[in-house]
């Protein structure tokens, strides 16, 4: 995960859609669309929508064509 918003060296386990979009140069609309299409799993906690770091890594691997 290359989102560099770690606090006190702690590895984050989930990221907000806006954080992922900003870190990878994507629009928030595109990331939300991928969630809506079922291509990217996300968790809803209250009003926040979070993507787990492991899920993001799997999504990127699929996009690269990794198995």
The pLDDT of residue 28 = 97
Residue-wise pLDDT tens digits, 44-60: 999 999 999 999 999 99
pLDDT at 4 over 70: no
CA 42, CA 51: separation in Å to the nearest integer?
5
Q: Chain-wide mean pLDDT for the chain?
A: 89
CA 45, CA 63: separation in Å to the nearest integer?
26
* Neighbouring C-beta atoms of residue 14, cutoff 10 Å: 17
Residue-wise pLDDT tens digits, 19-34: 999 999 999 999 999 9
Q: For residue 59, which phi and psi values (nearest 5 degrees)?
A: -60, -45
pLDDT at 1 over 70: no
pTM for the full predicted model: 0.80
């Amino acid at each position: 995960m290359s989102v560099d918003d770690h606090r006190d060296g702690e590895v984050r386990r989930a990221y907000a859609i806006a954080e992922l979009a900003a870190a990878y140069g994507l629009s928030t609309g595109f990331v939300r669309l991928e969630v809506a299409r079922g291509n990217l799993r996300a968790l809803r906690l209250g009003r926040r929508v979070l993507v787990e770091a492991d899920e993001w890594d799997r999504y990127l691997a699929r996009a690269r064509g990794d198995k």
